Structure 1
Amino acid sequence: MNFLARHRIILPVVSLAILLAATFYMQPRTMSYFGLNLLFNLAVPIALATVAQMMIIMVNDIDLSLGAFVSLTACVTATFLNDTPMLGLLILLALVLSYAALGAVIHALDLPAIVVTLGMSFVWGGLALFILPSPGGESPGWLRALMTVKPPFAPMAVVAAVIISIVTHLFIVRSGIGTVLRGVGGNARSVARAGWSVIWLKALAYGLAGLFGVLAGMALVGLATSADANIALRYTLLSIAGVILGGGEFTGGKVSPTGAVIGALTLTLAASFLSFMRLSPDWQIGAQGAILILVLTARLIFSRKGAVT
């Protein structure tokens, strides 16, 4: 078996290390607690959104509404959760359950997830605009304090990324239910023949995606201190790129939770690196795409070489 396929975490780690070394070379001052905090400031919400997308890709679907959903949860967090915490919690719980129901409906009616989620992006976006027509709101004090806490040895973003990686790895890779969920992406019929309800498993995967999407929106508001109906629209493509960059694949239930988090860190660092290069913001998205293409090309080359040998 191909070594890179068995250890799909290697390429994401190498990519992050190279990009980090290049950043340190260009800006030596970033080699500090404050510098790392600045580089990875927005890594936590992006990492959570990437894990949310990974839950969907794990069962062979793709979610084009994630960015709008994270924006909606950010608006709820900055308004209802701040003003009336109990009502805000109930709304966020309802959103998670709605995501689970969406997964069940997609499977039960055999609908294309990419089309359904694209349609849902307008629903989430409309609700976000209804709640917060213009940028505003305020982060709950406890959430702001949590996101700006300063651990002793590493910035909060790095510590949180490690925790997210460990928790998702234990659940997806080490637990029995995580193995079954990956089995849905690998061979849903075999999972059904084993006595599992595929509808229930799809609902669980989508529900977990909704949960991490809610956490991403909350983390984003904790950092930004306010919200906007369009605050996280880029997270849809960033989350997909993070999963693939981290060693995941669109089919077969092949995902890497740790790799997905590292992929999110790499994309966050790429934005900072391009800023240090004084690249125009109009070109930065294209440059991020070029970095992603280079990494994926390298993965494809090594995979083919491994297959030949």
Structure 2
Amino acid sequence: MIRLFARHRILLPAVSLIVLLAATFYMQPRAMSYFGINLLFNLAIPIALATLAQMMIMMVNDIDLSLGAFISLVACITATVLHDQPVLGMAILAALILAYACLGALIHWLELPAIVVTLGMSFVWAGLALTILPSPGGSAPAWLRTVMTVKPPLFPMAVVAAVLIAGLSHVLVIRSGIGTVLRGVGGNAASVGRAGWPLLRLKALAYALAGVFGVLAGMALVGLTTSADANIALRYTLLSIAGVILGGGEFVGGRVSAVGAVIGALTLTLAASFLSFLRLSPDWQIGAQGAILILVLTARLIFTRRDRTQG
């Protein structure tokens, strides 16, 4: 059992999600329904997409402290420009993805610390968001609202979308050749470079993929909330990092799990609902979420160390 949990990183976050879900159903039996599950995981899609965006950055041994501000900017553009002028809105969102790719290339070319550069960019994204939408408002495009509120026959949209997102991202990151190379950049960039791969382009690609998932997260968030705010997703920066780590990823070595990252995002989303059912004060909920994360990570560390000792 110890070796099973230690060697299959996805098992611990999956068990954590199941235990938390069972506890939630025990406390609130009415949540065990189509409508109840939909409410529990209502905001899971944008958080899962944000987590995958952060995972793309962490996969190449960087960390993005501007992700929350970036998603907020995307949300503001979606609720204003994309709603009023779809072609222009899509062009701006594409330009943001290109800007993310250029940011990754710049960090690699000048050998800058990503944590400092992205922290600085967070102020740029936040300033642009405030310029576009100084006060909360805007409106979600009708087609986006329709997509995010569709009701599949068996399971809620949040669950179906999470499964699809996890499957597609797993194929991209774990099964595809380019995903393997990108993970190799995080594991041993020098070896990848000696093999003939252009590290500058690979770093730019990793950031571009993060930009794509960040754009999708912002659009999904507006589709669910129907409006936007320049500060709507600022907490997603820390949530995305926690989701990656909770899902079995690590800060270095290119060790990530796309499916685990989505499960981590679902766990964090469910934890917020579970703490609400406990009638815990909002002032304590963030600390309680952190405690849940620490418990899971401690368990993973214990399993890993015992596996090494027994091995």
Say whether residues 1:150 and 2:151 are aligned partners.
Answer: yes
SS of match in other structure, 2:234: coil
8 Å CA contact retained: 2:69, 2:231: yes
**Separation (CA, whole Å) in 2 of partners of 1:223 and 1:26:** 26
What is the identity, as a one-letter code, of the residue corresponding to 2:211? G
Aligned to 1:84: 85
Q: Which range moved further: 299-308 or 1-10? A: 1-10
**Separation (CA, whole Å) in 2 of partners of 1:266 and 1:67:** 19
Aligned to 2:194: 193
SS of match in other structure, 1:218: helix
Offset, 1:275? 0.5
Poorly superposed stretches of 4+, deviation over 6 Å = none
Say whether residues 1:23 and 2:24 are aligned partners.
Answer: yes
Residues 75-128 of structure 1 show CA distances to partners (whole Å, capped at 9, x for unaligned) of: 000000000000000000000000000000000000000000000000000000
Aligned to 2:15: 14
Aligned to 1:209: 210
Offset, 1:218? 0.1
Structure 2: tracts of 5 or more residues without a match: none
Paired-residue identity, %:
78
Say whether residues 1:222 and 2:237 are aligned partners.
Answer: no
Aligned to 1:177: 178
Say whether residues 1:47 and 2:48 are aligned partners.
Answer: yes
Aligned to 1:280: 281
Residues 1-37 of structure 1 show CA distances to partners (whole Å, capped at 9, x for unaligned) of: 9543431110010000000000000000000000000
**Separation (CA, whole Å) in 2 of partners of 1:182 and 1:245:** 18
SS of match in other structure, 1:154: coil
8 Å CA contact retained: 2:6, 2:303: no
What is the identity, as a one-letter code, of the residue corresponding to 1:123? V
SS of match in other structure, 2:152: coil
Aligned to 1:132: 133
**Separation (CA, whole Å) in 2 of partners of 1:56 and 1:6:** 23
Structure 1: tracts of 5 or more residues without a match: none
Residues 119-166 of structure 1 show CA distances to partners (whole Å, capped at 9, x for unaligned) of: 000000000000000000000000000000000000000000000000
SS of match in other structure, 2:130: helix
Say whether residues 1:112 and 2:113 are aligned partners.
Answer: yes
State how many pairs are aligned: 309
Q: TM-score, normalised by structure 2?
A: 0.98
SS of match in other structure, 2:219: helix
What is the identity, as a one-letter code, of the residue corresponding to 2:137? G
Offset, 1:190? 0.3
What is the identity, as a one-letter code, of the residue corresponding to 1:94? A
SS of match in other structure, 2:274: helix
Residues 235-269 of structure 1 show CA distances to partners (whole Å, capped at 9, x for unaligned) of: 00000000000000000000000000000000000
Aligned to 2:249: 248
What is the identity, as a one-letter code, of the residue corresponding to 2:140? S
**Separation (CA, whole Å) in 2 of partners of 1:120 and 1:282:** 29
CA RMSD of superposed structures (Å): 0.9
SS of match in other structure, 1:105: helix
Q: TM-score, normalised by structure 1?
A: 0.99
What is the identity, as a one-letter code, of the residue corresponding to 1:105? L
**1:61-80 alignment, distance < 5 Å:** 61-80=62-81
SS of match in other structure, 2:135: coil
What is the identity, as a one-letter code, of the residue corresponding to 2:34? Y
**Separation (CA, whole Å) in 2 of partners of 1:202 and 1:4:** 31
**Separation (CA, whole Å) in 2 of partners of 1:73 and 1:171:** 23
SS of match in other structure, 2:35: helix
**Separation (CA, whole Å) in 1 of partners of 2:221 and 2:263:** 18
SS of match in other structure, 2:25: helix
What is the identity, as a one-letter code, of the residue corresponding to 1:286? G
What is the identity, as a one-letter code, of the residue corresponding to 1:283? W
What is the identity, as a one-letter code, of the residue corresponding to 1:271? A
